[in-house]
Amino acid sequence: MMKAQVRIALVGDYQPQAISHQAIPIALQLTASHLNVDIQSHWLPTETITDTSVLQDYDAIWVVPGSPYNHDDGAFMAIRHAREQNVPFLGSCGGFQYAIVEYARNVMGWHDAGHAETDSGGRLVIAPLSCSLVEKSGAIIFQPNTLAARVYGKLETHEGYHCNFGVNPEFVADLQRHPLIISGHDTEGDVRSVELPGHRFYSATLFQSERAALRNELSPLVVELIRAAATA
């Protein structure tokens, strides 16, 4: 049974000039028509998330691009809430980077896990990319039998980016020893998407799948996020 309405929290600090932020409302509009569901989306600036109570009324949480966030703790709180409370979750770009840090800290127990953009010490699980991916695009190869492969319906896609940071290759082996699944890589073998099995929907990508909306195309991950949120 599908809900008629889905409430989604867009966690991040809205920047009208950010291409991904221009794409997100269109991606949701296209998804609403495709699934025939009313999507109520609300931007939640990171500094407004000081307690999980502000997230209680949402059926889905999308931590959107735009790091470093104004209030990192707000972004981490939203990701942890989605992961622990089984709320359908999508993280793109900055949302992917912060999801990796949140997971390393709270699931792997690496309390010193950090992000090289904002932290200087500890285990920097997110580090500068060897080549900037600001306004670049490239091939993504999905692992068979993953959520990503299933929703895309294929093992390769082409996606756009706007980032300078990604998963530190030094920590990939450790990340893989935990339930987290690395579902997608680029052609060089660098991590580009992760997911959590046993969760209603938990997917995070370094690429910005929402950019498909600017070509008037659906983002398979956004569709699946909303489908999961609408399925009671």
pLDDT > 80? residue 89: yes
Question: How confident is the model over 11-20, as pLDDT tens digits?
Answer: 999 999 999 9
Give the helix/strand (H/E) hosting 205. Answer: strand 202-205
Q: What's the pLDDT score for residue 144? A: 98
Give the helix/strand (H/E) hosting 84. Answer: helix 72-84
What are 9's two structure tokens? 């929290």
Question: Quick one: which of 200, 192, 191, 197 has its CA closest to 224?
Answer: 200
Comparing 94-103, 173-182, 214-223, which segment has the lowest mean pLDDT?
Answer: 173-182
β-bridge partners, 231: 2
What are 2's two structure tokens? 């599908």
- With 0.95 as the threshold, say if the pTM is over it: yes
Share of the chain above pLDDT 70, in %: 100
3-state DSSP call for residue 52?
helix
Using left for φ > 0, alpha for ψ between -120 and 50, and beta otherwise, residue 93 falls in left
pLDDT > 90? residue 194: yes
Domain that holds residue 159: 5-230
β-bridge partners, 113: 123
At which residue do the structure tokens 């109570």 appear?
A: 53
β-bridge partners, 103: none
Classify residue 177 as exposed, middle or buried by CB count within 10 Å of its CB (0-12, 13-18, 19+). exposed
d(CA 123, CA 72): 17
The CA-to-CA distance between both ends of the chain, in Å, stands at 7
Question: How confident is the model over 112-123, as pLDDT tens digits?
Answer: 999 999 999 999
3-state DSSP call for residue 187?
coil
Other CB atoms within 10 Å distance of the CB of residue 141? 15
CATH assignment at residue 61? 3.40.50.880
Other CB atoms within 10 Å distance of the CB of residue 7? 15
178, HSE (Cβ side, Cα atoms, 13 Å) = 17
d(CA 26, CA 40): 13
Q: What's the pLDDT score for residue 105? A: 97
Q: Domains in the chain: how many in total?
A: 1
d(CA 44, CA 2): 25
Asked if residue 45 has a cis previous peptide bond (ω within 30° of 0), the answer is: no
pLDDT > 70? residue 232: no
